Structure 1
């Protein structure tokens, strides 16, 4: 049984309006806690492109806040996954008795979550860049760059992989780890046939890429370009699309269909993502009345197919803890105990795969020999069954963990 009637947590400031922020706000309101979202950008999904995958567990979590079907309506199911290694094509083992992975445009997902949150009564305030937080006995006050402030019982940092809240909680906290790759994407004309509802993960001669069929007959593709220099999204977009396409065409020149995909992508179609990064384990998830969720504490490689899904799960699990546990410190400690083992297990599973994406010539030759054997021997239930079958029981009471003093 919920102890919400005796809880002191009634209001929450959420910093960040991407994925985990709106989800946390909706879940908190469902739990009876008034939540307001503050976003640094001028509007929802501002300047954000590219696609992402939503795993079955992430979609099931979205169902709890009523947004699952709206996402399914726009997201393409990817029932079949194929590994392309050299001249070999290998059907990747998968779970066949659950909902498939779905591919959705990031902008569309942000817009859906924003619209559902607004419909649920969540207020959003834009152009609010957090600069300082003042914690006091009965709450927390956020100060923004424009001089405005906001006060609530708790503050939730859902502000992404370069989180300001993470640094306020722990100035010594690690930052994101650059994977020595830049991300690109876009649609392309291509003569190769790709089966509907299929995604191909291709390990080219010099770099990794993936591609899939679009409803209009074109091919969508994404590139992980090896790059020693870190470039933020803003920095990467200072380079012209024509120059990036020249580099991509040179990189994938020996690959089929990589060469054709790069050659037939127009400059106005190219999506520049910038540095690909992951979050190493974050020592401190909370302090006082501040806590982190989403990419601010766990951002696994896109190889995992779980980044957005884990962010959605964590936001909802945090809301359950705040619903049922009156003391913020105990609520946050319980939340961390529930989530840390799961998210770090996913990150560990894909850590080695990240290295293969930017492997050197010698390592790549070895990979061509070994990876087909590894995929054929893979047991999908053992590898990612627990990840994809995970479901949150919203109605189950959260039992607090003991907090060390």
Structure 2
């Protein structure tokens, strides 16, 4: 397998998952990261569900995560005045069923754990900004802005929503006499309608560790998760006045974040806590537009994009990192299988077939999460009368939490693992589909049209 080489562009969660997975599959690679650090402190947090944690467990880094993070156990759904209308045990039930609890902690810490777990960190190169991608009949070349040149068989774009690899794919398809229909749709697929101000606050002792507080609209919502040592990971979601396409999505400054935080400083987070209490103890605050969109055509030629580059969701459901990990695992699986069959390397036909199989295997799941995440954002912001009625009355009264638990369990059970590594053995009550002889392909179900 040493004759085949992958060039990974992007060194965040998806890219580092690929590097770890390729090491286990004996697939050669080089990873190019545009930033100067692999674990920068950006004031962001990350939520990991069982579908992501199970793969990270296979890759040998779950114990490090478990040592520093506190799984969530319960949560409250709250009215705009801070009073609770529902207490949730969902996270405890998910952990019992699937062996891992939803875990919130600093994104920087996850990236550092992943980097520390790399067997060959010399293959991960920082300060490598991609300038040009050139494809030939039998190779692909990536040139970075410092003049370095890297050759390989494929390029994988794990470089985020403004992906240079995805843009290269689009540029190449634009040269075709008859571009795919999906390409024409994909150029308009990514948009933003909501913003998110996020931050981390320490010593929030009045809120219980392991609990979340989800505070509903109007036209905004708060999510606060209390992690280990009473650290609060919080998000302020707000609807913008208009919807923007990718090229027009606004960028925000620290001043914008401060203005948003001060605007909602008096909003109750619980009976004894206002947002001001978190704001006063924040390390930093960052405001971003929440891009959302699905790209249907992930690949062209020797290049494929994954993660946020092709499936980007609003952050309310906390599934972005997890589906990126899952997509990376599926790509690693299929490359491993293709190279096992063709140990001397892959033809262009082999590469195209592999990339198409990756895309086809992931499309229904990312579509389901995309619809669910978007619905969640609008439900919690009480965006319009229907969302207000559904979120506050219809769903809680008619269905309680049962539908949420079943929908999430279906998503967890059908999630992929690395097929060439041993399955984790952590106790869990409900078998994953790869463990269940009676497995079936589930319908999208409740999650896809009601949201979480």
**TM over 0.5, yes or no?**
yes
Given the alignment of the two structures, is residue 328 of structure 1 paired with residue 351 of structure 2, yes or no?
A: yes
1:242 shift after superposition: 4.4
Aligned residue for 1:373?
397
Aligned counterpart in structure 2 of residue 14 of structure 1, from 2, 8, 18: 8
Structure 1 residues 236-279: Cα deviation after superposition (integer angstroms, max 9, x where no partner) = 23426643432232xx546645972225523862321411222x
1:60-75 superposed matches below 5 A: 60-75=54-69
The separation in 2 between residues aligned to 1:190 and 1:109, in whole angstroms, is 22
1:371 shift after superposition: 4.2
Structure 1 residues 41-70: Cα deviation after superposition (integer angstroms, max 9, x where no partner) = 111133522112100111001122212222
The separation in 1 between residues aligned to 2:126 and 2:114, in whole angstroms, is 15
Q: Note if contact 2:256-2:287 (Cα within 8 Å) is conserved in structure 1.
A: no
Given the alignment of the two structures, is residue 386 of structure 1 paired with residue 399 of structure 2, yes or no?
A: no
1:361 shift after superposition: 6.8
Distance 1:394 1:386, change over 3 A: same
Q: Note if contact 2:161-2:310 (Cα within 8 Å) is conserved in structure 1.
A: yes
Aligned counterpart in structure 2 of residue 350 of structure 1, from 360, 373, 378: 373
Aligned residue for 1:166?
166
Structure 1 residues 355-392: Cα deviation after superposition (integer angstroms, max 9, x where no partner) = 22443575565343334225516324531112123341
Higher relative contact order (CA 8 A, sep 6+): 1
- Residue ranges of structure 2 left out of the alignment (5+ in a row): 172-183, 339-345, 422-452
Structure 1 residues 220-246: Cα deviation after superposition (integer angstroms, max 9, x where no partner) = 432113333779999423426643432
Distance 1:353 1:115, change over 3 A: same
Distance 1:351 1:374, change over 3 A: farther
Structure 1 residues 84-133: Cα deviation after superposition (integer angstroms, max 9, x where no partner) = 2353431334433222111121111111112212x345512222111221
Larger displacement relative to structure 2 (335-344 or 282-291): 335-344
1:274-293 superposed matches below 5 A: 274-278=288-292, 280-293=293-306
The separation in 1 between residues aligned to 2:57 and 2:269, in whole angstroms, is 40
What RMSD, in angstroms, separates the aligned Cα atoms of the two structures?
2.9
1:170 shift after superposition: 1.6
TM-score by length of 1: 0.85
The separation in 2 between residues aligned to 1:233 and 1:268, in whole angstroms, is 26
- Residue ranges of structure 1 left out of the alignment (5+ in a row): 397-405
SS class of match (1:284): coil
TM-score by length of 2: 0.76
Larger displacement relative to structure 2 (174-183 or 17-26): 174-183
The separation in 2 between residues aligned to 1:374 and 1:349, in whole angstroms, is 19
The separation in 2 between residues aligned to 1:258 and 1:237, in whole angstroms, is 31
Distance 1:361 1:272, change over 3 A: same
1:289 shift after superposition: 0.7
Aligned residue for 1:260?
274
The separation in 2 between residues aligned to 1:126 and 1:189, in whole angstroms, is 34
